Chains A and B, each alone.
Chain A
Amino acid sequence: MNPTRQRLLLPLLNHATLVLFAAVLVGFGLLSPKFFTAANLANLLVQASSTAVVGVGMTFVLLTAGVDLSVGSVMFVAAAVAGKLTLAGAPLPVALLAIVAVGLVVGALNALLVVRLGVLAFIATLGTLYIGRGFGLWLTQTRAMNLPDSFLALGTAKVAGLPLPPVLAAVVVALAHVTLTRTPFGRQLYAVGASREGAKKAGLNVGRLLVAVYVLSGFCAALGGILSLAQLGAVSPTFGTNREFTAIAAAVLGGTSLFGGRGGVFPGTVLGAILIQSVENGLVILNADPYLYPLVTAAIIFLAVLLDSTRSRLQAHWGRRRIFDEPAE
């Protein structure tokens, strides 16, 4: 590989998601004039908010080389609890608080299992995924629940002229971004992800950091659940299924490593979430066979992961074993 090609290829790969994103946008834009309308783009942002928020929590977990498979179940249980409460006459704020409480409780449970009891994150959260889903199905007795309009109103509410869901998502992302880049907690997470033993030896309270991460992920999942509810207005028995995968995909598309220590929420995860959503949104606009959506989404995620792994490999390849600089020619 000659140096000129390196210089061209690397930036391209470095911004793989961005490139892919642009390609998807241009593609849909060309295929349908409706895609690039303000209304649709706003709609796109509203739809992506939930994934972005859940993805932010997931990014924190992935940064520590963990994983949280329970987020979809958290969304479901939280929504089911909120639904039960509102249908029983509880006011909206109480329902919202209950949702957040569910997120924190499941997050704390995950943290207990992973951190205190030493269960692998993958297995622990797979367990809570099933427990949560079973619990939610029991709560709803596997029937869909229609929620009062107050929830849907949340989805269409405006803050300073902007729709509430993206504003809320933006606040979450901004807080998360500052946390990751500007606070001791954030920087320490990267160290834990790079080497847990090393972080411990460096004097960090690794246990406390990990607990915080799983609780945060549960919290974000619950918040994402609220945003989804605000769009759907109903809790079906499949509410939140496979959302753990979309969240992981959003984070990984955004450049966060599954092996910990590398990545971030902005622009990373946000971009990933919007990319996933725009694929679905574009397919809807094109009136594509709905059965094709998962196929296209899977292909796009695959492509993004492929680009990312190619990039890391080339970077490692070019970066290493260069023990002296060649004389300038």
Chain B
Amino acid sequence: MATMTSGATGPRRVPSLIAAALRSEYLVLFLCALLFAGLAPFTPGLASTDNFLNLLGNLAPLLVVALGQTLVLIVGGIDLSVTSTIALTSVVGALVMNRDTGWLAGSPLAAPVAVVAMLGLGGLIGAGNGLAVTKLHMPPFMVTLTAMMFLSGFAIWLTQSKNVGNLPAAFTVLGSRPALALPIAASSAGLVHLLLERSLFGRWLRAVGFNARTAHVSGVPVDAVIIAAYIASGLLAAAASVLYTGRLETGSPVLGQRILLDVIGATVIGGTSLFGGKGRVLWTLFGVLFLTLLDNALNLLGLSHFTIMMVKGGVILLAALLDTARTRWLAA
């Protein structure tokens, strides 16, 4: 919601090229290109093949989580519990399959069972969130906030705050090989895109996000749609956890703790509305690309993690400002 403190001003002349860029769906992609072009000369290695692969490796899991967030935001909710879901599923998966004390230590089934357990747990967490939001009529912000506190606490308690390492290679290969991680992320994105743009579920999702009461009167199974969105978010967070855990080769109870800003930031930078109804996979992809690129470049520049934190915070503010500016200029 844009606060127009001074009332609407007369239509301003916006140069047509800028206006076209601002209006475009690809605005964030243009910004990515600008960022890359602007930083590449000063940033050693930004344009190298190695870094390119590294960039994609960073992008894949973040994209997967952000896809789930996109679905939940479209339906008019928010899921703050995704990072804790990543941590908890990581820990649980590792406890199932690690080669020392794991439940299935040494079994050839360890890795597949662990992955299924992780996804199942993610889906279950999502279902819990969805049920609390729909059947108990609790605000999504508070539900997923308490879920975040609880699940993260649970992951830490479960492991007494220790990492669980020594995972089977059959598992770690999933996250550490871009050749595997990328197709997983890409197919998730493709599937979510198909659901959103072409399926009954996608239309229902948007309708509920725009106006749940209208949707209910029109015969849309509102509760089921909302629950499905949260389940999808939990599942995708768990899938991202598989990638992250594999990449790290260890189950960590604080895995993903730092990426909540990235997840929500990337989704919103892409253009998905926090008020529901509006959002697309392509937008989220651009948002994720933008943040990943920024993170990567700042790292290559040798900046400390707190500087990166400040810059990212600033960039998110700038993106939000840009979004308001475009709404004001173009809609006034």
Contacts and interface: CB of A to CB of B under 8 A. Distances in A.
Interface residues of A, number: 52
B150 interface: yes
Nearest to B140: A258
Interface stretch (A9-17, A158-166, A170-178, A293-301): A293-301
Interface in A286-325: 289, 291-295, 297-299, 301-302, 305-306, 309-310, 313
A249 B149 CA distance: 11
A181 interface: no
B313 A134 contact: yes
Contacts, number: 141
Interface string B299-332: 0000011111111111011001100100010000
A120 B1 contact: yes
A117 B327 CA distance: 12
Contacts of A136: 306
Nearest to A129: B313
Given A126-B261, A305-B139, A313-B137, A248 B150 contact: no
Contact of B317 (A127, A206, A310): A127
Q: Say whether chain A's binding surface is mostly helix, strand, loop, or mixed.
A: helix
Contact of B150 (A133, A242, A258, A294): A294
Interface string B121-157: 0000000000010001111011101110110111011
B5 A119 contact: no
B308 A126 contact: no
A157 interface: no
Interface in A110-132: 113-120, 122-124, 126-132
B180 to A, nearest CB: 32
Contact of A127 (B147, B152, B320, B328): B320
Given A134-B306, A138-B307, 8 more contacts: A118-B1, A123-B268, A131-B317, A134-B310, A207-B3, A252-B142, A294-B156, A313-B137
Interface of A: 113-120, 122-124, 126-138, 142, 196, 206-207, 210, 242, 245, 248-249, 252, 258-259, 289, 291-295, 297-299, 301-302, 305-306, 309-310, 313
16 contacts: A113-B317, A117-B321, A119-B324, A123-B316, A126-B264, A127-B313, A131-B309, A134-B308, A137-B306, A137-B309, A206-B3, A245-B145, A298-B147, A299-B146, A305-B143, A310-B137
